[in-house]
Structure 1
Amino acid sequence: MRLYPAIDIKNGKCVRLKQGKFNEQTVYSNDPYTIAEKWASNGASYIHVVDLDGALDGNWTNKEAIKKIVDSVHIPVQTGGGIRSIRDIEERLDVGITRVIIGTLAVKNPSFVKDAVKKFGKERIVVGIDAKDGMVAINGWEKLSVVSALDLCKQMKGYGVKTIVYTDISKDGMLIGPNVDYTKYLIDETGLDIIASGGVSSIKDLKDVEKINAEGAIIGKALYTNKIDLKEAISLFEN
């Protein structure tokens, strides 16, 4: 199982939110690239970057901060937040991003994902499904859609998508453990590579996620509050 240390960026700074609420944030660094270097030096094989401003307004305002992360580490970086067009994907791939995560648009305009997979390939395009009570949230988690996470997963699979980042919003940033049951349900029902996200707080949580055959787990706040030692976790789950 791959571990994805997370770097959430707002106004060019590395922050963590509680349950995706923009008014409940903690700043961990003014220079996100230094955090990326730290995770890479601890053995990370992939970095997960979220552009929070982009998720909210659809603009790539944190381009320089993200580009600096890519330039600072020699491991793949995946990023999401604010992907609204094919050009947006191209811009991110052009600066060296390995995988681009499409969120809101997968709900609002599903055929866009189909076109993106066709153009860039399933190794480059990931769909981010953020849900609450099984229903998908959009626009930086500000709004709940009428689409279920399972239905969206199945539709994306039909479009050639291979990898999904599934986040349970109610767990995110709360350090109360991920939604293992629902993540397992999605894996069993779809056969997709699903990366579990939201709420990972301990090595035990990671073991629970590993048991359900998740492709990976995203670790955020637990790293920043020293509840999980990345080096130790990587030696247990990746090596």
Structure 2
Amino acid sequence: MIPAIDIKGGRIVRYAEGGPDTVYRLDPVGTAEAFVADGARWLHLADLDRAFDTGRDNDAVVRRIVGLQGARVQVGGRLRGPDQVARALELGAARAVVATGAAADPRIWEAITAAVDPSRLAVAVDVRQGRLVHRGSDQPPASAPDALVRRAVAAGVRAVIHRDLQRDGELAGPDLDGAARLLGLGADVVAAGGIGKAAHLIAARDAGLAGVIVGRAFYQGRLTLREALACLA
């Protein structure tokens, strides 16, 4: 169970593909502390100011969160090159999440894995209609994700994050079939996008997934972390 904290302008937001962000007037550090107090062992952070090159960053906030005792933190948010990945790890992240496009580009991927320990990486597997797609891109979906995951595992990556962009933020359930197809390739598979109720969590567990990333369902009060953990106990 991995609560998601997306940060922009020092506040928590939920990014919407092709639509306006939802801004929650919540303090990211206080929210992270509450998640840890309620039992979170991992947190997923994304600095959307860095992701979208706004000219600002939330490094100070990220540092405070990764310094919390009791949970490990993975940092994502369109990490597209070795400098961005290294920066996330330098801030104290236990794991950096490499963007789909960067992981799919052999030249960029080679530069990233030469710069940092691949065991401290996760790869974002963003899909639409079962095909890899780069978030924010107008390009049509490309190849199936299997080859990308195999290449990541061969380099030493231990986790991948499968997200169906058509389901992201819809709260109607993740693409468990697509995520489950990545099982057996050598990496832990985490599902993201679409978690809206306890039944989705149970289905993800029963499908054999290593975890789920949950954001909007928590912030909209559809589910609490304690309820989520209790249903999986």
Query: Is the TM value for this pair above 0.5?
Result: yes
Q: Distance in 2 between matches of 1:192 and 1:179?
A: 18
Letter in 1 for 2:82: I
Q: Secondary structure at the match of 1:138?
A: coil
Provide the residue aligned with 1:85 in structure 2.
81
Q: Distance in 1 between matches of 2:55 and 2:203?
A: 36
Q: Distance in 1 between matches of 2:139 and 2:53?
A: 13
Once the two structures are superposed, the pairs formed by residues 1-239 of structure 1 within 5 Å of their partners are 3-18=1-16, 20-21=17-18, 23-57=19-53, 61-103=57-99, 104-107=101-104, 109-114=105-110, 116-117=112-113, 120-140=116-136, 143-188=139-184, 190-237=185-232
Shift of the alpha carbon at 1:118? Answer: 5.6
TM-score (norm 1): 0.86
Q: Distance in 2 between matches of 1:129 and 1:90?
A: 20
Identity of aligned residues (%): 29
Q: Distance in 2 between matches of 1:51 and 1:128?
A: 15
How many matched pairs?
Answer: 232
Letter in 2 for 1:78: Q
Q: Secondary structure at the match of 2:71?
A: coil
Task: Structure 1: state its 5+ residue gaps.
Answer: none
TM-score (norm 2): 0.88
The worse-fitting range, judged by mean Cα deviation, of 224-233 and 197-206 is 224-233
Q: Distance in 1 between matches of 2:15 and 2:86?
A: 28
Q: Deviations over 1:24-81 (max 9, x none)?
A: 2211135211211111111100100122333334977222232232234542110112
Task: Structure 2: state its 5+ residue gaps.
Answer: none
Letter in 2 for 1:207: I
Task: Write 1 or 2 for the structure with the bigger share of strand.
Answer: 1
Letter in 1 for 2:189: I
The worse-fitting range, judged by mean Cα deviation, of 201-210 and 67-76 is 67-76
Q: Secondary structure at the match of 1:227?
A: coil
